[in-house]
Amino acid sequence: MTPPEQPNLRLDRRTQANLFLLATCQALGQACNTMMFAATALSIITFYPNRDLATLPVTLQHFGIMLSVFPAALLMQRHGRRIGFRVGSAFGMAGAVVIGSGLYLANFWIMCLGGLVLGYAVASLHQYRFAAVELVPSAWRAKAISWVTAGGVAAAVIGPSLVRLTHDQWMPVYLATYAAMFAVHATIFVVVSFIRFPTVPVGSAPVAADGQPVAVAPPRPLAEIVAQPRFLAAAIAGMVAFGVMSFLMSASPLAIVACGLPHTEAHWVIFLHVMGMFVPAFFTGNLIARFGTTPVMIAGIALLGAGVAAGLGGLDAWNFRIALILNGVGWNFLFVGATTLVTTCYRPNERGKAQAMNDFLVFGTTAAASFLAGFLQERLGWFTLNWFSLLLLLVALGAVGWLWAQDKRPATAAA
């Protein structure tokens, strides 16, 4: 296995500022996503009798992401990141208006439509990590992804805090939360204006061993890109990371309330979970640079498994808190590692369709997980959700183990 690539360059001030602004957009966008998770199911059960479907708007948001990843990525490749991110913010504002209107009218299906519209905004949100890679030399890939992802630390404060502050300010409850979501997406629209995106991504030009540029080959068919072992392993790991995270995060507010704990405990657990997701991003890139991608991904699987064990340990508040914190940290390790791998699998002129295909697979899994979360929580309970999560983690372990074997094969042959 080749040793991890060590960054040996310093980033200029302009690049650092761009990364900071991208992290800011990540923080604000992820705050809106957190608000969606924390508020939607609880707002729906205030008027809609079928609690089995309480997570359907969140599921449709993920379905909207699936529908949007290719248009969003290709729009950015053809017309630039700034226009693409602004369009995403516009969809975020529109989605907040629609879902808030559905709540005000006590119309479940309008709220579902709002979730679908918000899917485009979230599809754009997940392009920030790829945009970060394009701002830096290739040796900085893992760190750039990690730093921008770390913007979610602020989201862990902003999102749940806004939910706590706004959930009972207007009637019906949580209506003001969706108004706050509109304001946050409007802020993203403005912040994007100050980011300077390169016409040619900094880290994307292929170079030979002697540092000389290499002629760019024509783009390969998407099927050929996807068939690469590294792409397959990275996509499966990302799917499981987001699937398990969404599975338990979507259901946890319903499970907490069902156990007789207050709504405020659900807000607190989501806060701890989001902190677990994004605080490690300050050092995940360094861990990947030092130890390699595969060990960090395996550590992520182990942490996700430990979170499941905590969830199976009982129904007290601390069980939920520990389970969702470990779930968040494990997601960070596995997902940042998977994203880093994906960026090594395509050429610059293939980035739009390759990134879109990766996110299509990831959020297809997430959509299914979020839908099943509400159903299984109401019909079978919290413990069943955790057992299903263990099955998904075994799939991820197989994919990462396969990747490890593929990476070891050249070294063995050479020996």
415 residues of the chain, pLDDT tens digit each: 334 444 455 777 888 888 899 989 998 998 998 888 778 888 898 888 887 788 788 878 888 888 888 899 889 888 888 999 999 999 999 999 999 999 999 999 999 999 999 999 999 988 888 888 888 887 787 788 888 888 878 887 888 889 889 888 888 989 999 999 999 999 999 999 898 887 655 444 544 434 445 456 788 888 898 888 889 888 999 888 888 887 787 778 778 888 777 777 877 888 888 788 888 888 888 888 888 888 899 999 999 999 999 888 888 888 889 999 999 999 999 988 998 888 888 887 787 888 888 888 887 777 777 677 767 776 777 887 888 888 889 988 888 887 777 666 654 443 3
Asked if the peptide bond before residue 221 counts as cis, ω within 30 degrees of 0, the response is: no
pTM: 0.71
The CA distance from 339 to 235, in Å, is: 8
**How many C-beta atoms surround the C-beta of residue 113 within 10 A?**
18
The Cβ of residue 188 has, within 10 Å, a number of other Cβ atoms equal to: 26
Contact 276, 332 (CB under 8 A): yes
pLDDT of 210 reads 44
Write the CB contacts of 346 (distance below 8 Å, at least 6 apart in sequence).
Answer: 225, 231, 354, 355
Question: Are the CB atoms for 179 and 166 separated by under 8 Å?
Answer: yes
Specify the pLDDT at position 120.
94
Q: Give the largest CA-CA distance in the chain.
A: 70
The whole-angstrom separation of Cα 347 and Cα 328 is: 31
CATH of domain 13-202+222-409: 1.20.1250.20
* Res 215: pLDDT: 55
Q: Sign of the CA dihedral 241, 244, 248, 251?
A: positive
Tokens of 402: 């396969």
Give the integer Cα–Cα distance in Å for 313 and 320.
9
Query: Is the CA virtual torsion 270, 391, 368, 126 positive or negative?
Result: positive
How far apart are alpha carbons 372 and 59 in whole angstroms? Answer: 9
Length of the chain: 415
Contact 182, 100 (CB under 8 A): yes
Residue 407 is predicted with a pLDDT of 67
